[in-house]
A and B are shown apart, each in its own frame.
Chain A
Amino acid sequence: MQDYLQKIKQANTKQELETIRIELLGRNGELNKLFSELKNHPDPKSYGQELNQIKTSVDEAMVEKLKTFTKNTTYKNILVETNFYTPIKLGHLHPISIVERQIYSVFKDLGFSQYDAPELETDEYNFERLNVPKDHPARDMQDTIYIKSPELLLRTQTSSIEARLLQNEKPPYKAMFPGRVYRNEKPTKTNHFVFHQFQGVAVDTEISLKDLFGTFTKLIRLLYGPDFQFRFRNKYYPEVEPGVGIDFKCFNCGGAGCAICKGAGWIEAGGAGIIHPDIMRQANLDPKVWRGFAFGCGLDRWVMTKYKITDIRTLLGGNLAYKPYQL
């Protein structure tokens, strides 16, 4: 085995590599012979696993070597350039990561950093500092997942990251932060107890809704193309004032109304607005001096829209898989 790995490493041409492959992995190759004798082995299960591991190691060593002969690693190019038939398994980012990156690429160009904060949060950062009063229904045990002693909760919104950012950093700044959030819900096609949001904040002296709308328009057009239909509307959120709702025309029905959009023809894609003066004050920022916009969007719906995934449970539920090769 080690001899073959050494041979692979020392191969100087694609043809040499192909010869080694046939010798070892071909139909009458060494490894296939060993596999054919598997049933006679005293411990076929362990031996089979061992052979599989050897095959994987050889495969991967060959692919690594092959990459040194070719610049482009798509399956098609490998075939064209080498006539080599063992395809390279392509790796993939999760669709949520892809969309997070696409979103961040827009914001990075506009000078945004990224930010991070705990998923296990305190009531103060998840609610109090975000203008959610003590008796607000969102704090109800039925909506928030609390942790057993000491008293903490699983953050219900990425606005908690905003609260920490406002508290910890000195403006002016711009930052966005994708994150996982939790709600005490039974999983359905459209709702889950674990889902994702991305949130952003920009604080400076002169910031307006026009800045917010322009920024979001740039983002939406990049992700979904210039003809994609969306709208901004007034919507109440305790963290912002004026508040903004962002809707996408339903990808499933095109606006006619269906189960995905619950008949509205539009899918709520996020919320935004000018940061509420009470929140600025809580972070010791004078709202007469500093003004900022904040936005938060349900990332899962953006991902579902982009990849035409109809069940939110698929995103983390295990039955999402990737086609391994692209011709």
Chain B
Amino acid sequence: MIIVYSELKKLLPNLNVSGRKLADDFTLIGHFCAGYKELSSHSGLDSESVDFWYDLEVRAANRPDCLGYIGLATDLSAFYKINLLLPSVETGYIQSLHNLDIKISTPQYVKSLQATKLIDLKIQPSPAWLQQLLNLHNINPINNLVDITNYIMLLYGIPCHAFDAKKIDNKLDWTTSKSEEKAVTFDGTILNLQEGNLVIKSGEQIVSMSSIGGENSGIDTYTTEAIVEVAIYDPTRVHKDNRALNIQTEAGSRLEKYITPGSLSQIIHHIQMLVVELCHGKLTNDNFSFENYIYTPLHIPFDSNLPSKYAGTNISTEESYEILSRLGCIKNPDGTITPPRERGDITQEEDLVEEVIRIYGYNKIGIENPIENSLKKDITPLVIKLSESIKNILVELGYDEIRGWPLIKTDQKIPEVSKEKYTTTQNSMNDEYFTLRQSIVETLTIQADIYSRFKVPSSKIFEIGKIFYQKDNQNIEAHSLGIYTTNPKDLDLISEKLNTQLTWKSHGSFYETILSNTSDFKEYTNNLPDTNAYELTTQITELDANIAFDKQQNPVDLLEKYFAKIDQNILWSLVIKDYFFDQKTGEHKYTFTACYYNCESSLAKQIHLEAFDLV
């Protein structure tokens, strides 16, 4: 949701915070500001003013009312304790109802709808302020009538749509598509519809989808009469249609949320007012209203002490009620609270508590005291303790822990170790990875291959993780330990240290055992050092250097000397591989092996020769 400071200020005349602070405060109260920038010039402002642009991540599943300026301004009004100035709209334009030839054939998908016919329109470009505003919201200005509908959507968060009345023969029907029907959107895209998509028809012709207008009904410079509608649909139907037909529009992203019908009359009146002003049009008696939503005001009990208990800090009763009042809630004589109609997310006491704490400000809640330190009871499953003990032992024995993807490719299966039926996914987007590993050996093998490709000089790895298979129509899931080693005696050491017997199956140098939730083992603890893991981007280059000295050297001094000469960001390891006293020459000869990573071998050679003075 993009918003602009100057437009917000029209609703909050006393808003007086810096652009940066507003971004932070939006985030604080629940509307994460993912983008913020200063606008150098904008005709909506006087020449000396600056404006600010924000990209907010509105959690519309919960707050669809904040997909418009008014919802956000209401929140800020409560947060800053400043007055909210709603648009002044003259009411009473609609003279009579149901004169329009509109039919709702699928009332299950239409919650609420209002429409009005406008005549004597003069379609032309919008005024500059409106065009610039839409541009700032990444919406292309089209013409004055279409731009009004988009402006209204930005203001109220609810999309509306204008049809050329003559092109649709003054009639509309909200219905569903038949299979193999096609629709052409206003930009010429052909949609291959499925049976049951929500469409708007005129006669047999599809003139619009719920989220995008049709090519054959749009407003152009020849339009003189239009029907403008604002509607709220079943969001699930809209979401499914948008997904199935790959529709991504501002309107669609709003209509697939649970918008609570609250202000459609106000919206229609506002459209009528703007059409008179900007399109020089006239209103008619041809209007339509449909309501398939029964609004019952809620009376929610509210204990004003609860916000303090939930927050862990004192929030006064007066402050709680003031916050709720500024958010549009009404305190009833019996002490209950009635939330505003458009706040469908507030249905119980805890919702009110959250509103109070959210606006009070999480930044006023203390952060220094963690939860009380008392062990209630240890409910840790033994298999976790067993796994952790094994990790301690293996690292101590020089093994590196790896973690592989449990989803593997078909050619990564190892039938020799996986005798049961594989568990497979039915809809993985990654169509190569649709099989769950049945043995930890499968991912260890992949890892060993990758290390071999990168020429990593290590052959001692292990993994503990879940494996999956099907047996007797049951899905089995188990904790498994896999080890890749050339020294099988380590397996006995593990059992010895755990004081338990593990049953291994082998596949070459790979060994695997299933870990059970057993109490028959001794916990093994130790202090392991922090890990030193790195992303490899190139093969490791291993190079030797034979250096002779006339005296025997301190090996630590030697290593430190050469360590200091090589950039640690490319030095993987440096060891003295061999020492040899040459009796013939009287020299002490040292063989160093240096491994270089994340640099090409030619560069590694150059660095190596320079470091050991071999150039």
Which residues on A are within 8 Å of B, measured CB to CB?
Answer: 26-27, 52-53, 56-57, 60, 63, 75-76, 79-80, 83, 85-98, 109-111, 113-116, 118-120, 135-137, 140-142, 145-148, 150, 152, 154, 169, 172-175, 180, 182, 184-187, 193-194, 202, 204, 206-218, 231-236, 238, 241-245, 247, 257, 262-264, 268, 274, 276-277, 287, 291, 293, 307, 309-311, 314-327
Contacts and interface: CB of A to CB of B under 8 A. Distances in A.
Contacts of B560: 327
Given A91-B400, A236-B63, A323 B34 contact: no
14 contacts: A87-B575, A110-B371, A110-B373, A116-B383, A145-B427, A194-B407, A211-B370, A213-B362, A214-B369, A215-B370, A233-B362, A235-B30, A242-B310, A323-B572
B556 A323 contact: no
A79 B556 contact: yes
B196 to A, nearest CB: 15
B559 A115 contact: no
A118 B200 CA distance: 46
Contacts of A111: 372-376
A318 B408 CA distance: 13
Contacts of A150: 473, 475
B373 A109 contact: yes
B592 to A, nearest CB: 10
Given A83-B555, A180-B465, A202-B371, 6 more contacts: A96-B403, A116-B384, A137-B239, A145-B428, A242-B353, A326-B532
A208 B308 CA distance: 9
Interface string B439-470: 00000001100110010111110000110100
B398 A88 contact: yes
Given A147-B475, A322-B400, A193 B579 contact: no
Contact of B575 (A85, A116, A185): A85
B580 interface: yes
Interface string B357-394: 11000110111111111111111110110000001001
B406 A194 contact: yes
B59 interface: yes
A136 B458 CA distance: 47
B466 A214 contact: no
Contacts of B99: none
**Candidate in B377, B533, B580 with the most chain A CB atoms within 10 angstroms:** B533
B551 interface: no
B350 interface: yes
A92 B376 contact: no
A301 to B, nearest CB: 15
Nearest to A194: B405
Interface in B294-331: 309-313
Contact of A323 (B243, B459, B532, B537): B532
B402 interface: yes
A207 B328 CA distance: 29
B180 interface: no
A162 to B, nearest CB: 13
Contacts of B236: 135
Contact of A209 (B365, B370, B460, B576): B365
A14 to B, nearest CB: 13
Contact of B531 (A173, A212, A318, A322): A322
Contact of A207 (B371, B404, B532): B371
B61 interface: yes
B428 A193 contact: yes
Contacts of B450: 318-319
A233 B447 contact: no
A114 B32 contact: no
A245 B532 contact: no
B615 interface: no
A93 B395 CA distance: 7
Contacts of A174: 371, 376
A319 B373 contact: no
Contacts of A204: 376
A186 B577 CA distance: 44
B350 A92 contact: no
A242 B366 contact: no
A214 B371 CA distance: 7
A84 B344 CA distance: 73
A238 B376 CA distance: 27
Contacts of B466: 119, 180
Contact of A91 (B27, B32, B454, B460): B460
A152 to B, nearest CB: 6
Interface string B546-566: 000000000110011001000
Interface string B528-544: 11111111110000000
B430 interface: yes
Contact of A90 (B309, B374, B381, B398): B398
Nearest to A57: B487
Contacts of B597: 321
Contacts of A98: 530-531
Contacts of B376: 111, 172-174, 204
A148 B425 contact: yes
A283 B542 CA distance: 58
Nearest to B448: A318
B430 A141 contact: no
Contacts of A154: 425
A94 B367 contact: no
A230 to B, nearest CB: 9
A321 B401 contact: no
A307 B530 CA distance: 11
Contacts of B426: 146-148
A169 B381 CA distance: 12
Contacts of B524: none
A209 B310 contact: yes
Given A148-B426, A262-B34, A241 B371 contact: no
A16 B375 CA distance: 52
Contact of B451 (A173, A276, A309, A321): A321
Nearest to A111: B375
Given A95-B533, A115-B380, A217-B368, A242 B486 contact: no
Contacts of B288: none
Contacts of B151: none
A95 B430 CA distance: 25
A210 B379 contact: no
A141 B239 CA distance: 13
Contact of B370 (A214, A325, A327): A214
B556 A120 contact: no
A207 B309 CA distance: 8
Contacts of A208: 309-313
Contacts of B17: none
A92 B532 contact: yes
Contacts of B33: 264
A319 B532 contact: no
B277 interface: no
Contacts of B567: none
Contacts of B50: none
A79 B458 contact: no
A36 to B, nearest CB: 15
Given A91-B396, A147-B425, A245 B32 contact: yes
B29 interface: yes
